[in-house]
Amino acid sequence: MNEELNQHLSQLLDDELDYQVALNLLQKMHTSPELKSTFARYATISHALKTDQFLPVPPNISENIAQQIAQEATYLLPQHKPAGHHYKRAALAASVAVVAVLAARGVNLPPLPATAPEATSLQVAQKTPAKPEGQTIANTALQPEDPYPLNARISDYLEAHNNSVYTGEVDVDFRPLTKETSYNQR
């Protein structure tokens, strides 16, 4: 009997056991600490054989997990209904169609780059200087690396110029948007 149970334990670990037999075995493990201990030992041996690594598993790991699951909060929010079979079929059909089209065109998908090209181009676009404001301005360039920050003096000037708009707190906020313009005298 023990020999048969041990064989079932081994099959269970290899996912070769019949569903009903596996269920009966798990029920027996639930009531037999000895069987449970044997299962843990088999699992450790199996893991070591398959991965060449030994991970010591505490004998009471399953109880601990069961206890933690029992202590988990129960969420009463409505759950999304699983997608119906027709969605799965549609998704499968779409995937097959894409594969068929790509195969028909003989497209070789390039390997994924280390950084997404879209992100790179976006970053470049953000750093691109704005267009010059008029045709009379011959040479316009953003100089974000201006060593001198927009200082308190300019902030005070702005406030004095139009105190309904500027409140003396512009030196920090406005700095990234400051741009410099040069032009040729007519």
Partner 1 sequence: MNVLIGIFACLLLSAANPLAATPQQPPAAKNALTTMLKSMQTLNYQGTVVFLRDGKLEPMRYINAAAQGREQERLISLNAPLREIIRDTGNASNLLKTTRQRNTGNRPFEYSFLIDMPNNLDDLDANYTLSVLGEETIALQPAYIIGIQPKDQLRYARKIWLQKEHFLPLKATVYNHAGKTVEQLVFTELIVKDTLPFANTQPVKNDIMQSNAANSAEAAFIIKKLPSGFRELFFTRRPLHNSTQLVDHLLLGDGLALVSVYMEHATASPPSTNTSKTVQSLGAINFFSQTLGAFEFTVMGEVPSETVRLIAENIKLREKK
Sites of contact with partner 1 (CB under 8 A): 131-137, 143, 146, 148-154, 156-158, 160-165, 167, 169-170, 173-174, 177-183, 185-186
Residue 68 or residue 185: which is nearer to partner 1 going by CB?
Answer: 185
10: tokens are 């081994």
Q: Which residue has the tokens 């976006």?
A: 122
Residue 71 or residue 185: which is nearer to partner 1 going by CB?
Answer: 185
Count of residues making up the chain = 186
Handedness of CA 56, 59, 63, 67 (dihedral sign): negative
CB of 118 to partner 1, least distance (A): 23
Residue 95 or residue 178: which is nearer to partner 1 going by CB?
Answer: 178
Residue 31 or residue 128: which is nearer to partner 1 going by CB?
Answer: 128
Contact between 102 and 151 under an 8 Å Cβ cutoff? The reply is no
CB of 126 to partner 1, least distance (A): 13
Give the burial class of 29: count Cβ atoms within 10 A of its Cβ; 0-12 exposed, 13-18 middle, 19 or more buried. Answer: buried
DSSP annotation of 139 reads E
Residue 33 or residue 134: which is nearer to partner 1 going by CB?
Answer: 134
CB of 127 to partner 1, least distance (A): 16
CB of 176 to partner 1, least distance (A): 9
CA distance 83 to 129: 48
88: tokens are 């799965």
CB of 144 to partner 1, least distance (A): 12
